[in-house]
Amino acid sequence: MTHVVAEPCFGCKYTDCVVVCPVECFYEGEKILYIHPDECIDCEACVPECPVEAIFHEDNLPEQWAAFKQLNAEMATQCPVITEKKAPLAEG
């Protein structure tokens, strides 16, 4: 099982979640973060850290954001890993 970063992250890209991830499964896109589904250990440490509530367990992903499950899987393999907190786009 895995968690998925969804629409609320787009254009915000807070990175509070990445610093609590014990397995470094977050990847940084230009406007959004992604979670690599094969690396996520389903610990849920990231969920309460997201100030815009953009991280969902794949089984609880709202239907309107269902495509983000595949998007995370595809883009996590193409983007660099992120492990340190950065200034969010929402404040930039």
The whole-number pLDDT of residue 92 equals: 55
The per-residue pLDDT for range 57-86, each reduced to its tens digit, is: 999 999 999 999 999 999 999 999 999 999
* Better-predicted residue by pLDDT, 91 or 62: 62
pLDDT confidence band for 1 (50 / 70 / 90): confident
User: Counting Cβ atoms within 10 Å, is residue 10 exposed (0-12), middle (13-18) or buried (19+)?
Assistant: middle
67: which 2 tokens?
Answer: 């495509």
Domains and CATH numbers, the chain: 3-80 (3.30.70.20)
